[in-house]
Structure formats: C-alpha cells, structure tokens
Structure 1
C-alpha cells in the first residue's frame, strides 16, 4: 500500500506524570509488598534519664512474628491515614476557609496593594527579606506547620510583584526548611538530639550559625533565579493559568476601599496572627490551638466588618473548596506510614541502616548517618518522633566509631530537614502545597535541583565538622 507523504503527521504524545494520587498509591503498594519481603522487628523503649523522653533501647532490637499487610488492611489503611492526620487536615481546611473569608472581605487585596507599593522600586528585595524572616523564625520555633499559616498571606504579594505561586511556596517552604534544618535552637530536633546525646543544650551554635548563613545564601540565589525567569516569561510558569485567575481576582477586589469596620477587622486579624505565633513559641501551642485561633480569626473578622455569619459560612466553604484536593493528597501520603506500622518493618529498616553505617570509613560515616536519617525520614516524617527512635542508636555508635556527637546531631538535622521538602509523607509541607494549589509533581521539578545542592553542601559541612572534631561548645 502506498504511503501518502503529504498526510499530516500525528503529533507525538508528550509524557505526562500520573496524578499524584496514583503515584502515592503505587508507593503504598510497594510498602505493603515490603511487609512480605522484610522480617518484622522492633525495639524496646526506655525512659532516657537525661532528656526524660521515651526512647528506644539501641541494644534491644529483636525480630517479632511477621505481620504482612493483608488486603483488607491495605484497603482500610486509607481511612486510617485520614484519621492519623485529622488534626492537621482540619487545620489546613480552617486556614483555607479563613483566608477565603478574609480575601472575599477585600482585606487581603488591600494589604497586598499597600505592601506592593513599598517593594515597587525593587521588587526582588521581597524574596531575600521574606526568606530571612521565615528561616530565622523557624530556626528557633521548629514548626513546619506555620508554613500553612504564612503562605496565604504572602502569595497575593508575590503575585502582585510579577512572580508566581510556586515562588511563594518556595519562599515559605525553603525558608522554613533552612531554619528548621540548621536549627540554632530548634526544640523538636536540635535540643532533643543534644539531650539524648548528653551534650550541653545550644552547644555547637557557632557552627550551625555558619551553616545557616551558607544555606540561606544558596536558597536565596536559587529562588531568585527562578523568580526572575518567571518574571521575564510568565508563561514558563506551570501555574500560569491559575495565577492569571488569582491576579484577576486581586485586581477586582482592590477597587473597593476598606471601610472603618474592615480596617478594624484587619487589626483584629493581625492581632490574632501575633497571638498564634507567640502562643506557639511561649506556651507550646500545637495544631488544635492554632486551628481554633484561625476559626476565631475568620468568623470574628466577618462579624467586625459587618458581614453576616451565614454569608461568612458561605465564604468559608468556598475557601475550603480551593484547597480540598491538596488536603486529600496530604491524607493519602500519611497512609504510607500507616502501612509501614501495620507491617512492623519500620524498625527493621532503621536497624538495617544502622548496621550498614558502621562499615563506612570514619570521615564518610557522618555522611552515611546523614543518608540513613534522610531515608528513615520517609517512614518516620515527624522530627521529634524520628529523633527519639534514631538518636539513641546513633549516640552509642558515635562513641564506638570515634565520631563527633555534635556532628552526628547536625547530620540528623540535615537528614531530617532537607528530605522533608521532597518526601510526600511530610504532612505539613504537603498541606502547604495544598493551600498554594501547587501540584506535587510540579514542586518536585522545582525542588529536586535545590535539594541536590543542599545535599552536596551539607555533606561537605558534615565532613568538615567531623575533621575539626566539632565539640560540645
């Protein structure tokens, strides 16, 4: 049969990543399969006399009866994943609903208009300033959940300056991660690890401060390069279409000037925001308290501005709708950890990695710890939870191998912190992406190169710490 050379060629299909629900479900199936391949194991727990925390006994690992995940457990694990992350899920919805109310009242557009005028002459200053604020705050607070709080506040500002929603997410998440990972006084990783290792609290501060400056500088350059590219070619952004709609909403909303009652509502919102941060820092407030404050913030501002509660409820529901898909992604991601726990293979993996680390040459052992913590963070994404599992194993290992315990604490901080930005099991960052309406696959394309830079520089900083014998003070 003759071929028609003039016939139009069929366009080649471009590869498209599967939906994030499919990707996460594949990981869940893989973890369930591992429960049949790996033996179940566990550690005994004891009360650490120094920290007062319940920690694992590093010498108590033992295998237990195999508990492979059954088909019905696998099916039910999605519901269990939702239950496990319920407080954070409700906080995410509360934040989305609250900022839906505030935005529809016209308060956010007015605040954005004011801030954008201040940055009009040099809009690029906004990125390093905001990155410094978020990283400096979180290096002492250690609260990734605050990303969910900050993102709705700065996104309209970032958009008004000509950047995109991904830039806003990068400023909040990467800034948070720099502070969390270098941890000058992070109570959930640095201080717990130092207590378990018997080190003076806040010791090694000078070296972590150097790490903070180095990683802050790297992050500023990386985020600003991306932001400049988007500013020059807005259509290169993967969120271009969605951001166009957001900008249109902002322009329409700014037309209306704030009344006296709405200005009072803005003051009420600002006051409660400060109360939320102070309460977290001074009184140890967690997700439930923060959620309650946001609910008061949303409905209280509506009442003060003269909007009826029924109308405020409709605004709140609309705000929740905007982040529903991302919130569901966070819940599905938590299912991975649930399946790991059901199969009793989490501690088996931790034990296996600790055995492998011992075979590394001394100067590279510290990098091996860094890698091991990074992998374990996929299965135990909570910083404090991972610390009480991993550090009692690393601390005696450091003594046997002649490693600096301070360097080991830093290796834990880096391994736990940097990996949070790429693992889908990190609920707080997944919730932040949900609030920003950023696809997880788009975030990976942006974040992976920066993660690789962080990893290489982090490995070098750890080897230097080991070579100089980073001490307790």
Structure 2
C-alpha cells in the first residue's frame, strides 16, 4: 500500500513584490508628465539681467522677471496646451521618443550628452587603473598600516567630501573617488551603499548647508539681492550639524552591514566584487610600477581639484584629465608588466570600465527626457514647467509667514526633481521667491536658506540627478535598492531642514 503525501501549503513559493526597475519608474513619471501637458496650459516669463558682487567682483546673471508671467494663447485668445503625443517627428518630443531625445539633449557642458560622455570616459579610465591591480594592492597596505583604526575611515572621508561640497560645490568629482573607494569599503566589510554615502551624499550634505558654495549660495544670494556669502555665522554651524548627522547615520548602517553582510541593501549587487579573488598582503605585489600608477592617480585628483577651484573646470576639462590618467596608467602597466598587461588589455579594460557606466548613462538620458516632456527649463519658452513654477509661487504667497517659509523649502525640494542644477534652479526660482518673501514677510535670507536645503538634500534620492546616477553606476547599486535605503535619511534631513528654516524665520535671520 503506497501513501501519497500532500505538499505543505508552505512549500509553494511565496510571491514577493519587487521594486520596479528604475527605467520603469522613469517611464511612469514620463507618462505623468505627458498627462500634465493636457491639464496645465503653457506659460512663459521674460528674462532680465541682474548684477551682484561676489568676492569684490561685479557679476551678472540672466534670471526671470517674476512679474512677466503670461499664459500662451492662440490667435483666438484661447489658452495654449503643449500636449504630448505618442511620437513626435522632426526632432520633437513624444512619449515614445522622449528617452532618445533626452539622451542626445544638451551639450558637452552638461546634461545629458555631456554627463553621459563624462561617465563613459572616466569609467574607462578607471577601468584601466583597476586592471593594473595597483589600487587593490594599495588598499591592502592601507588597511595593514591602519589596522585597528578602520572605523575612522567613514567619519574622515565623509567630512572631507562634505567640505568639498561646501567650499567648491563638489558633485560630479565624487564619481571618480567612488571608483577608488569602493574596493576599500568592500575589503573593510562594508558595501556599495556605504561608498555612495561617504562620497556623493557627503558632497550634497556640504552643498546644501554651505556658507560659500559659488554655484548655489553665491548665485542665489546675488539674485535675491542679499549680500553675497553673508549669513556664514548661521550656515557654518548648520554645516557642522548636518555633517555630524550624516556621519552618524552612515556609521550606524555600516556597523550593521559589517556585523551581518546580508543586511546590506546592495548585498546582491556587491556580490560580484566580493566574489573576486582576494589578494592577501603576503602575496600582493608592490613595485616601482605600482608606485608610479598610484602617483599618477593622486596627481590627477589633486590637479582636477585645483582646476575646478582655480580655473572653474567643468565636464570637458575634467574628463580630459581622467582620460590622460588612464592612458598614462595603461602605459605604465604595460612597461612594468603589471598583471601581465599588454596594449590590448589596456583597450579591453577601457571598454569594460565604460561598459559598467552604460546602465547609469541610460538613466541620466531618460531622466532628462522627462524635463523635455514638460517643455524644458527655458523661461522664455511657453512650457508647462513655467506654469507650474508660477502657480506654486502664487500658492505659497497666500500662506502665513512661517508656513510660507516652510513651503518654500518644500517647493524647492520638489522642483529639484526637474531642475537638479543648483545654479539653474537659483536662476529660475529665486527671482520669484525673493519678492514673494517680501510680500509675505519672510526674510530674503531665509528664502535663500530654503532654496539651499531644498535643492541640495533631495539630490541624494531623485533619479534625475546625473551625478547620483553616475555614482550609483560605478558602485553597481540599483536606484531601487538605493531608494529603499536612503528614504529614511532623506526624511531625517528634511525634518531637520524644516526645523532650521522655521527657526531661522522666527529668529529673523537676515
């Protein structure tokens, strides 16, 4: 007699909801943007030149005239809607071709095409450096020399990157550092998310709470008619406080990952790096070639930072310096036979390094396409984005003082999804927010603070931030995994920012 056992109900595989891929999320936002074009009429502003003093030098900038907004109308006087269709030919933007239009938009100076090429070039250059094996061997020696003090890496690096964001608006430069620091973090028992926190996120904490950032604070204060770089007595303590909060949050997470690697939000994506054969200090190599490669990398990083600070280098110049670094490192690797490298290995390493950046590059282009669906960021063109900007400003102006100050922070945070450039957002929003603050009794200095905090902190989560997506790309962290981790940190930052803005208004921060 045979018995047949019934399978246990628990044996059936449980269905588990998964976060949609980032590309799917971006396409869903694109559909929402297309729907808005049917509901919101297009409007435009006129532009005007404003002058302000920065470091004793008079500078000018083109900004919108807040009193010039007007809805576009057709010949009969009816409101004009820039309705998005499924496909638009002749170089136009439609729902099914916004990814392509986003990918090819812009110039070599910025998003999207400039940022994409920047990502591919530095990815390839560091691919060559990593192929030499010098970085891995150098990390082994660094860990050996600092044994027992590994916990200091996180606060020291977070502070340095936060300082870079505060002083000279460091952002895109963090991508290169993340490539180098990721293997160190994995060796120390941390993960890719910890790497993103101590590099890119740290720069944005500094960027948001800066007292002297020339790309956000100086421009916003100049446009608002506030003395440039004033208010440092409040902003420096804010920077210290937010940096300490960032360090504490990162160390708390990193400690959990070190005790149990499976608690990492990027555990699966870090697996490939963990699976790589780990060289031990006993059998590692270090010779003259390694010293020259390391010297090349360090010299390039110092040279790029100097160029950014002293000569305002941006994407084209920075990309060229890193390409040169990869070329020199490749030649050294071939001459000294590092990892038995040949010239063909140099080419392969460059292509592999650039290939790692392709998924993030696609996201950057598609995210830019969302802005194009709303008409782009030009104030002089009739777009849905301009209408949303004007309507938001009018709604804020009807609120009490303290609530208006807080709503400015909320507005800047939301608007940053569409315009992630600090200087671009300042030029679009501050001409509206500054006179609006006068009408509702909010200090203009407070309106600048609301801009700073709203613009900077949301950069750590919005998928439209090219620098964020590039850093996630080099650390091989999916945006969905990143969002599941970082939303708590963003809420914490926004809560503290709300307190800061409200207190600044109550204490009449001038």
TM range (shorter): over 0.9
For structure 1, which segment, 429-438 or 236-245, has the greater mean C-alpha deviation from structure 2 after superposition? 236-245
Confirm or deny that 1:59 pairs with 2:59: no
Q: Deviations over 1:256-289 (max 9, x none)?
A: 4133123212212211111111101110000111
For structure 1, which segment, 360-369 or 118-127, has the greater mean C-alpha deviation from structure 2 after superposition? 118-127
In the alignment, the residues of structure 1 paired with residue 480 and residue 120 of structure 2 have an alpha-carbon distance, to the nearest angstrom, of 22
In the alignment, the residues of structure 2 paired with residue 17 and residue 245 of structure 1 have an alpha-carbon distance, to the nearest angstrom, of 21
Check whether the contact 2:397–2:439 (CA below 8 A) recurs between aligned residues. Answer: no
Q: 2:256 aligns with which of 229, 237, 252?
A: 229
Partner residue, 2:436: 397
Q: 1:116 to 1:247 in 2, by over 3 A?
A: farther
Check whether the contact 2:128–2:349 (CA below 8 A) recurs between aligned residues. Answer: yes
Matches within 5 A, 1:6-405: 6-9=6-9, 10-50=12-52, 51-64=59-72, 65-72=80-87, 73-74=93-94, 75-84=96-105, 85-249=112-276, 251-252=278-279, 255-305=283-333, 306=335, 307-341=341-375, 344-405=383-444
In the alignment, the residues of structure 1 paired with residue 332 and residue 280 of structure 2 have an alpha-carbon distance, to the nearest angstrom, of 19
- The two structures, once aligned, show a CA RMSD in angstroms of 1.7
Q: Deviations over 1:428-461 (max 9, x none)?
A: 1111111111010111111100111111111111
In the alignment, the residues of structure 2 paired with residue 362 and residue 119 of structure 1 have an alpha-carbon distance, to the nearest angstrom, of 52
Runs of 4+ residues deviating >4 angstroms: none
Deviation (angstroms), 1:250 = 6.2
Task: Name the count of aligned residue pairs.
Answer: 468
Q: Deviations over 1:44-84 (max 9, x none)?
A: 11111335101000000111132112221322321121112
Deviation (angstroms), 1:130 = 0.5
In the alignment, the residues of structure 1 paired with residue 33 and residue 280 of structure 2 have an alpha-carbon distance, to the nearest angstrom, of 47
**3-state DSSP class of the match of 2:320?**
helix
Deviation (angstroms), 1:199 = 1.7
Q: Deviations over 1:85-116 (max 9, x none)?
A: 11111111112111111111011102211222
In the alignment, the residues of structure 2 paired with residue 190 and residue 219 of structure 1 have an alpha-carbon distance, to the nearest angstrom, of 21
Q: Deviations over 1:373-399 (max 9, x none)?
A: 111111112111110010011111112
In the alignment, the residues of structure 1 paired with residue 97 and residue 443 of structure 2 have an alpha-carbon distance, to the nearest angstrom, of 44
Deviation (angstroms), 1:238 = 3.3
In the alignment, the residues of structure 1 paired with residue 66 and residue 311 of structure 2 have an alpha-carbon distance, to the nearest angstrom, of 33
Can you give the 5+ residue segments of structure 1 that lack an aligned partner in the other structure? none
**3-state DSSP class of the match of 1:103?**
helix
Confirm or deny that 1:433 pairs with 2:472: yes
**3-state DSSP class of the match of 2:245?**
helix
Check whether the contact 2:400–2:440 (CA below 8 A) recurs between aligned residues. Answer: no
In the alignment, the residues of structure 1 paired with residue 502 and residue 21 of structure 2 have an alpha-carbon distance, to the nearest angstrom, of 39
| Structure that is richer in helix per residue | 1
Check whether the contact 1:41–1:61 (CA below 8 A) recurs between aligned residues. Answer: yes
Partner residue, 2:499: 460
Q: 1:411 aligns with which of 450, 469, 477?
A: 450
In the alignment, the residues of structure 2 paired with residue 105 and residue 250 of structure 1 have an alpha-carbon distance, to the nearest angstrom, of 15
Deviation (angstroms), 1:360 = 1.9
In the alignment, the residues of structure 2 paired with residue 175 and residue 187 of structure 1 have an alpha-carbon distance, to the nearest angstrom, of 18
